[in-house]
Amino acid sequence: MACRISELVLACRDPEVLARFWCEVLDFTVLDRDEGVIEIGPREGFGGPQPTIILIRDDEPENGKLRLHIDVNATDRDQDAELERLLAAGAELADIGQTGEESWHVLADPGGNEFCLLKTRLAPL
C-alpha cells in the first residue's frame, strides 16, 4: 500500500491573486474559502486523481528559496502556445541560470513562486 498526494499547501502573501492565477492555469475552481485560506482544485472536488492546492495567507518574510515547485504540462496545445497563455495569465519568465538549451521554461506565478512548463503534452484527465 502507498500514499497519494491529496493536497499541496502553499503559504503566500495574497491567496486571492494566486487562486485566480492557478485556477486559470490548471482549469481549477475554488472549492472552499475561509479567512486567509483558499482551497482550489478540479471541479469534481477533493479526492480525485489530481491534488487540490491550499493557499494560506502568510505575511511573514520569506526565508529563502522554496524547496518545492510545481511542474505543468500542456494538455491541448503545444508548449509555445501554452507559454503564451501562461504569460497572459500573469506568469513571468524566471532566470535561475538556464542555458537556453533546456526543453522546459522556468516561470514564476504572481507570488514569485517558480514553476516549470515542460515540453511533453499530456492527455487531459
Digit-coded pLDDT (tens) for 6-24: 999 999 999 999 999 999 9
Distance (Å, rounded) from C-alpha 120 to C-alpha 68? 21
Give per-residue pLDDT as tens, 33-64: 999 999 999 999 988 899 999 999 998 877 77
Contact 89, 25 (CB under 8 A): yes
Looking at the predicted structure, is the pLDDT value of residue 2 above 90?
A: no
What is the pairing mode between strands 70-73 and 37-41? unpaired
What is the pairing mode between strands 29-34 and 105-108? unpaired
For residue 25, which of 84, 93, 65 has the smallest C-alpha distance? 84
Structural domains of the chain in order of their starting residue, each with its CATH number: 1-59 (3.30.720.120), 68-125 (3.10.180.10)
The alpha-carbon radius of gyration of the chain (Å, integer) is 15
